[in-house]
């Protein structure tokens, strides 16, 4: 099972890398999440749902001052923050600049899902019942020295 999960993650990562490096112009997906990674009967993964993707044919450093201001302040609807809660990079929310780091952050959340078997945002049943992001949940376990609690229990005895 670990090997399958690792291979699926690798294939999804290769698909995202192609968007950022292989496409001309490069594309930022902006909605990378586990449900947008399709897996066929042979467990081959493909990135899907490009509904809010954004072409990066214009780079901020090549823009005029007015264009840069519109790009970074979110005045234009094309720079509106898009994505799914739990997968959205907090720096993207601040800058409103959709670059490759948006997809890298979201893919990191997907990797956390693969390792932990948890959703990106869950209700903290052991604490005060508030909703907690997967990264914060992992940090709290790490601080308590409970690293084994982070790994998906279904994977603990599987090679």
CATH number at residue 137: 1.10.510.10
- The CA-based diameter of the chain, rounded to the nearest angstrom, is 57
Active site residues: 31
Residue 79 confidence (pLDDT): 58
Question: How many separate domains does the chain show?
Answer: 1
Q: Give the orientation angle of helix 2-17 with respect to helix 100-116, to 10 degrees.
A: 170
With CA atoms as reference, report the closest residue to 106 among 25, 16, 23, 27.
16
Exposure string over 113-138, b if 16+ CB within 10 A, otherwise e: bbbbeeebbeeeeeeeeeebbbeebb
Residue 158 confidence (pLDDT): 53
Give the residue numbers spanning the domain of 127. 2-155
Residue 75 confidence (pLDDT): 40
What ranges in 22-85 are assigned the alpha helix state H? 65-73
Residue 55 confidence (pLDDT): 83
Asked if residue 15 lies in contact with residue 48, where contact means CB atoms within 8 angstroms, the answer is: no
The pLDDT tens digits along the chain (159 residues) read 788 899 999 999 999 999 888 888 888 899 999 999 999 999 899 999 988 888 876 555 545 555 554 444 444 445 577 889 999 999 988 888 888 899 999 999 999 999 999 999 998 776 688 899 999 999 999 999 998 889 998 886 654
Residue 34 confidence (pLDDT): 95
């Amino acid at each position: 099972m670990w090997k399958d999960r690792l291979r699926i993650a690798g294939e999804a990562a290769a698909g995202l890398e192609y968007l950022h490096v292989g496409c001309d112009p490069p594309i930022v997906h902006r909605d990378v999440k586990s449900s947008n990674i399709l897996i066929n009967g042979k467990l081959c993964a493909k990135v899907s749902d490009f509904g809010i993707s954004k072409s990066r044919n214009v780079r901020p450093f090549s823009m005029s001052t007015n264009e840069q201001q519109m790009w970074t302040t979110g005045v234009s609807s094309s720079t509106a923050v898009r994505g799914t809660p739990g997968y959205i990079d907090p720096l993207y929310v601040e800058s409103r600049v959709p670059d490759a780091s948006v997809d890298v952050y979201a893919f990191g959340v997907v990797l956390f899902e693969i390792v932990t078997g948890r959703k990106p945002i869950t209700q903290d049943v052991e604490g005060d019942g508030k909703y907690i992001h997967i990264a914060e949940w992992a940090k709290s376990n790490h601080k308590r020295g409970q690293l084994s609690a982070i790994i998906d229990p279904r994977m603990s005895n599987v090679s």
